[in-house]
Structure 1
């Protein structure tokens, strides 16, 4: 298994390819590569039984592909947690070094890191970390771009992409922020959101079309009124 194949499995998993079809375009943006180069690797993954491809629909992982992706995600996100919590890395800085480290990490080292960090369940950008036995709570796969106008949601996680994380840092959008989707501009325009917990009534953010497809959110349920 080459590092490149592992990276493909990882990004397909991160985008929700365990349970739904992911497009070549989504994979290309997530890996910062040309869309045309994805087709060849997708064919290899299908040939090796790691993925299933449906023409004009997309690609999803097989059980074998999911198992490998879970291991790689666990390694990558534990290293990200270590780099941020123990070495003071910024969130936008961790991906490159975590990418190198995950491919040379033994099971013993990984388990020791996990114990040292107190068995974290989520990485710094909100992604779930499978435990040693492969158990984990499923990530949210609801995209900000798909949220109806007027609805209130909470920012749950970001795709692990350096360009994206730098951009979100610049516009000051963080995990845990409660936002109301105000408007999706047509023709791949930005999504305008309003920060609910901010004291300012004018605190709005414009999030690019591309970024809105790599920010995942959870529904905010209204409080239950007790009599």
Structure 2
């Protein structure tokens, strides 16, 4: 992929995408959130954040976090649109499981022209969301704002609906293993101290399950 005539590394693209997914268009995202989301060391995050700031793609406030600039948002939207369209195609048309799509979608997004992506968008009948619940910008760049409330923020006794998952292979594999799906309604029963697991009741079935502390920060609810 590219920034309208400029070359961009896949690693840099991944950072822009994760910052976007975590809500960095409108709020500050912490280095820790990025580190966990991309499975990279904290030092690597700091190094890349500095590069993004120097290139005018992001703003960084010490101890507060990083957000995307107007230029960064535009680039991230283009990247997100391309990646999520390929994920949608792989799941809906080729029968991929959700946790399988990321790597192949990553390859496909780097070889697709704007014309091909527009054709793919039409072929898929203008989808608004990808298989893990993330928005897909339209041809004119419009889209509804995503939920940025995480399961980790919900207090015991509250009932919420699972709205989307971060596009992370390990997380999506974990979600598949515990049989959690978009649209599931869950009641938070207990939050163990010292970053322990969160206990849930599946409202539709009455079954109980637990979600790891880190994973709960990448499951968005409404």
Q: TM-score range by the shorter chain?
A: over 0.9
- Provide the residue aligned with 1:174 in structure 2: 181
- Provide the residue aligned with 2:210 in structure 1: 206
- Provide the residue aligned with 1:60 in structure 2: 67
- Provide the residue aligned with 1:19 in structure 2: 26
Q: Tell me the distance in 1 between the aligned counterparts of 2:12 and 2:174.
A: 27
Question: Does 1:100 pair with 2:104?
Answer: no
CA-CA distance at 1:165 after TM superposition: 0.7
Q: Tell me the distance in 1 between the aligned counterparts of 2:211 and 2:14.
A: 26
Q: What does 1:144-163 align with in structure 2 at a 5 Å threshold?
A: 144-163=151-170
Gaps of 5+ in 2: 1-7
- Provide the residue aligned with 1:224 in structure 2: none
- Give per-residue Cα distances to partners, 1:82-140, cap 9 Å, x unaligned: 00001111000000011111122100000010111000000000000001110000000
| Runs of 4+ more than 3 Å apart | none
- Provide the residue aligned with 1:189 in structure 2: 196
Q: How many residues align?
A: 215
Question: Does 1:30 pair with 2:23?
Answer: no
- Provide the residue aligned with 1:43 in structure 2: 50
Question: Does 1:79 pair with 2:86?
Answer: yes
- Give per-residue Cα distances to partners, 1:131-182, cap 9 Å, x unaligned: 1110000000000000111011000000001101111111111100001111
Gaps of 5+ in 1: 219-227
Question: Does 1:215 pair with 2:219?
Answer: yes
TM-score (norm 2): 0.95
- Provide the residue aligned with 2:4 in structure 1: none
CA-CA distance at 1:197 after TM superposition: 1.3
Q: Tell me the distance in 1 between the aligned counterparts of 2:65 and 2:102.
A: 26
Aligned with residue 122 of structure 1, among 120, 124, 129 = 129
Q: Tell me the distance in 2 between the aligned counterparts of 1:136 and 1:164.
A: 25
Query: Secondary structure at 2:99's aligned position in 1?
Result: helix
- Give per-residue Cα distances to partners, 1:29-55, cap 9 Å, x unaligned: 111211211101100100111000000
In terms of mean alpha carbon deviation, does 23-32 or 116-125 score higher? Answer: 23-32
